[in-house]
Amino acid sequence: MIYKTIESRHAVWVSTENSFETIRANFIKKKGGSGFEKDFRIRNRFVDEDHAVSLWLPEGNMAGFEYMVEDVLAACEKRMGPAQITYIFALEDFDYDAGIRENEVLTFLGNLNLRFRIRDWAAERSMCQGG
C-alpha cells in the first residue's frame, strides 16, 4: 500500500471530559439544533457532519489520523498549555468565527491546517500497471 499526506483546513474543538456520553450529548439533535450548534452559534450555518472528524482518544485507534492528532496536540500545547485531551471534533472547510470559545464540555481550539495520511490509490494503480 502506498500512502500520501494531505493537508486541509478545519475548525477544531477539543475536550478534556472523561465521559464520552457527556460529550456525545452535545451533538444530539433536538428541536432548534444540537447543544453544540446552539452553544457555538452555528445553528444557521451548513455543518457537513458527514465529513467531520470525531475522535475519542482514550480508545487509541487513530489509524490514518496520527498526524492530525499530533497537529491538534501541538496546537493545544501552544494555546492552552499542557492538557489531557480526550476528544477532538474537527469540521473541514468550516471557518468558525462566532467568538464563543467554550461551553461546559468543548473548547474551540482554532481554525487549523491539519495533516492526514491517506491511501494513494492513483500511485498504486500506476504501480500495478507498470508505471
Whether pLDDT at 131 is above 70: no
Q: What is the pTM of this model?
A: 0.85
Q: Which residue has the cell 472528524?
A: 53
Average pLDDT of the chain to the nearest whole number = 88
Number of other residues whose CB lies within 10 A of the CB of residue 114 = 22
| Nearest residue to 19 via CA among 58, 73, 62, 63 | 58
| Nearest residue to 19 via CA among 104, 96, 101, 128 | 104
Mean pLDDT value across residues 13-33: 92
Give the pLDDT of residue 118: 81
Q: What is the layout of strands, in order, in the sheet containing 53-56?
A: 53-56, 87-92, 3-15, 107-119
| Cell numbers for 107 | 473548547
